[in-house]
Amino acid sequence: MDLLLVEDDAMLGQAVELGLSERQFNVQWVRTGAAAISESQRVNYDVVVLDLGLPDLDGSRVLSSLRKKGQVLPILVLTARDDSSETVKLLDLGADDYMIKPFDMNELAARLRALVRRQRGYATPELSCGPISLDELNFQVLVNQQPVNLSKREFELLRAMMAAPERVHSRDKLEQIVFRNEQQVESNALEVHVHNLRKKLGNKEWIQTIRGVGYRLACG
Amino acid sequence: MDLLLVEDDAMLGQAVELGLSERQFNVQWVRTGAAAISESQRVNYDVVVLDLGLPDLDGSRVLSSLRKKGQVLPILVLTARDDSSETVKLLDLGADDYMIKPFDMNELAARLRALVRRQRGYATPELSCGPISLDELNFQVLVNQQPVNLSKREFELLRAMMAAPERVHSRDKLEQIVFRNEQQVESNALEVHVHNLRKKLGNKEWIQTIRGVGYRLACG
DNA sequence: CTGCAACTTAAGCTTTCCTTAAGTCTTTAT
DNA sequence: ATAAAGACTTAAGGAAAGCTTAAGTTGCAG
């Protein structure tokens, strides 16, 4: 995660750089507003941490200047002033968030993650197992990046097993999941779905049969 | 700007409702976490204000529950606890911002504006997806630079899906959006509009059907 | 008032999916 | 080795979901 830190104070800058680097941010640190503006045009950062009270430009100038140039990246402002009218102004000027010094590094990191997360749009939580990935929300299954079209039952089946790969899932449990309460099945419907699923996934070994018990998903 | 307020305390709820209404928010106020979850699925809000410490569900439960259901709308959490580890948890759980009670109404409004602004994206009020681009303000849709004439319903439909391409949009939600509150639809009107939209877009594969669920826009 | 465009509804059609059942293959136990 | 049980494969019939078309309404503009 590429982060631009705009901070003139050496002590604080170093502390923030270190603290955020430890938390998996890739920090680029500049000391002046002018540098911030040019740097943010040179490289595509994910997020900016901007201290007010820079030597050359007022921080709020930097802020509005960035926005005027069409920068859309999230900006978090650091301020010493706990002045509500000031902070309202900042937010309306285009800041996405602010923190008052002194602040907690964990919270700063969390706020930054939240900003970036929002900016990117939520990556939907995906289940994955080897080359198979399954997006529960969007009903999409990829095998080696290629979309695979599954029917509802097949999807349910795969999802149930992907919730716990490498583990044995009993027939009973799987039938319950796939057929909800719709009716008791007393045919081999489950086996048929397993068969079709195997075919669609393209590798029959991924779904192993545990004779007399159930199935296990084993990929990669 | 449609806002969902989740607050069980009558005094505070009324105060927030009033304060935000005065500031041009269109506030819908619910008292329980359960109501929040169902309401947010029924209507498309721009932003949520969520108080922790609800009677039925813990606020953080509501939060993660919304996120798991794929809600991407911005959520600001109100909390009484000034506990940094708690707030970090909230942010990582999917909150976009929080405020500690008591708070300043102007700042709340400013933070909410900032969230909505970011959600919509600053730069272009234009949505795009592959060769399709959609200008919300001018009601114009281009496919490969060529203008396409859509009716109001078709436009709404496309806009809703372009707000989140690659993502499944349930029939319910789409009907909600396309038919507003006008009446309950109990015909296949949605399907007809989808059909007409596909035809006008010129490529039937861009709008995929997810059987039993809804539709997904997939272009490029 | 008239005409056009957009919208809704309904009916029939197509596609996809699910279940069932029968036959085959594989494993296990005797 | 052989029988029995469990699992696999295949195909057919039917049900469900979605698609298409067309007719009837509505509403707005000329």
Q: What is the pLDDT of residues B113-169, one digit of tens each?
A: 888 877 765 444 578 888 999 987 678 899 988 889 999 889 989 988 998 888 899
Range A171-190 average pLDDT: 80
Q: What tokens appear for B101 in the block?
A: 């009670």
pLDDT tens for residues A131-156? 999 998 899 999 999 999 999 999 99
Residue contact B74–A125, C-beta within 8 A: no
Nucleotide nearest to B211 (CA to C1'): D17
Return the percentage of chain A with pLDDT > 70, whole number: 91
Residue A71 reports pLDDT greater than 90:
no
Decide: B115 and B47 in contact? Cβ < 8 Å: yes
Phi, psi of A204 (to 5 degrees): -70, -15
pLDDT tens for residues A31-55? 998 899 888 887 788 899 999 876 6
User: From the CA of A152, how many Å to the C1' of D7?
Assistant: 23
Residue contact A118–B96, C-beta within 8 A: yes
pLDDT at A7: 92
Residue contact A114–B95, C-beta within 8 A: yes
Nearest to A88 among B92, B106, B164 (CB): B106
Judged by a CB distance cut-off of 8 A, whether residue B175 touches chain A is no
Nearest to A121 among B67, B72, B109 (CB): B72
Please give the CATH topology (third level) of the domain spanning A2-120.
Rossmann fold (3.40.50)
- Chain A and chain B share a number of CB contacts under 8 A equal to 85
Q: Do the domains at A2-120 and A126-217 have one common CATH topology?
A: no
Distance of CA A4 to the CA centre of its chain: 19
Q: Is A55 helix (H, G, I), strand (E, B) or coil?
A: coil
- Which tops the pLDDT comparison, B80 or A48? A48
Q: Does domain B126-217 have CATH number 1.10.10.10?
A: yes
Residue A157 reports pLDDT greater than 90:
yes
Judged by a CB distance cut-off of 8 A, whether residue A153 touches chain B is no
Q: What is the pLDDT confidence band of residue A121, given thresholds at 50, 70 and 90?
A: low
Strand C bases contacted by the protein (CB, 7 Å): 5-11, 16-22, 27-28
Q: What tokens appear for B104 in the block?
A: 């300043």
Decide: A28 and A5 in contact? Cβ < 8 Å: yes
Decide: A23 and A109 in contact? Cβ < 8 Å: yes
Judged by a CB distance cut-off of 8 A, whether residue B209 touches chain A is no
Domain boundaries, chain A: 2-120, 126-217
- What 8-state DSSP symbol labels residue A43? S
Q: What is the pLDDT confidence band of residue B40, given thresholds at 50, 70 and 90?
A: confident
Residues 28-87 on A with a CB inside 8 Å of B are 67, 70, 72, 74, 84-85, 87
Residue B181 reports pLDDT greater than 70:
no
pLDDT at B124: 46
Cα separation, A77 vs A101, whole angstroms: 10
pLDDT at A190: 93
Distances (CA, A) of A166 to A127, A209, A210, B176: 13, 12, 12, 41
Cα separation, A179 vs A190, whole angstroms: 9
Pairing of strands A207-210, A214-217: antiparallel
Range A180-202 average pLDDT: 85
Residue contact B118–A70, C-beta within 8 A: no
Range B197-211 average pLDDT: 92
- The alpha-carbon gap from B86 to the nearest alpha carbon of chain A, in Å, equals 10
pLDDT at B120: 64
Among B180, B179, B208, which Cα is nearest to B194's?
B208
Cα separation, A101 vs A49, whole angstroms: 13
Phi, psi of A142 (to 5 degrees): -120, 140
User: From the CA of A196, how many Å to the C1' of D7?
Assistant: 14
- Which tops the pLDDT comparison, B198 or B79? B198
pLDDT at B166: 87
Q: What tokens appear for B211 in the block?
A: 């059987």
Q: What is the pLDDT confidence band of residue A211, given thresholds at 50, 70 and 90?
A: very high
Q: Chain B contacts of A107, Cβ < 8 Å?
A: 84, 87-88, 91
Nucleotide nearest to A209 (CA to C1'): D7
Nearest to A138 among B92, B114, B167 (CB): B167
User: From the CA of A168, how many Å to the C1' of C29?
Assistant: 24
Q: Is B24 helix (H, G, I), strand (E, B) or coil?
A: coil
pLDDT at B88: 82
Among B181, B211, B215, B214, which Cα is nearest to B201's?
B215
Mean pLDDT computed over every residue of chain B: 85
Q: What is the pLDDT confidence band of residue A161, given thresholds at 50, 70 and 90?
A: very high
Cα separation, A101 vs A78, whole angstroms: 7
Nucleotide nearest to B187 (CA to C1'): C9
Residue B9 reports pLDDT greater than 50:
yes
Cα separation, A7 vs B140, whole angstroms: 43
pLDDT at B27: 87
pLDDT at A155: 95
Judged by a CB distance cut-off of 8 A, whether residue B106 touches chain A is yes
Mean pLDDT check: name the lowest of A45-49, A79-83, A86-90. Answer: A79-83
Query: Whole-model pTM?
Result: 0.69
Decide: A196 and A154 in contact? Cβ < 8 Å: yes
User: From the CA of B40, how many Å to the C1' of C8?
Assistant: 28
Among A157, A135, A156, which Cα is nearest to A207's?
A157
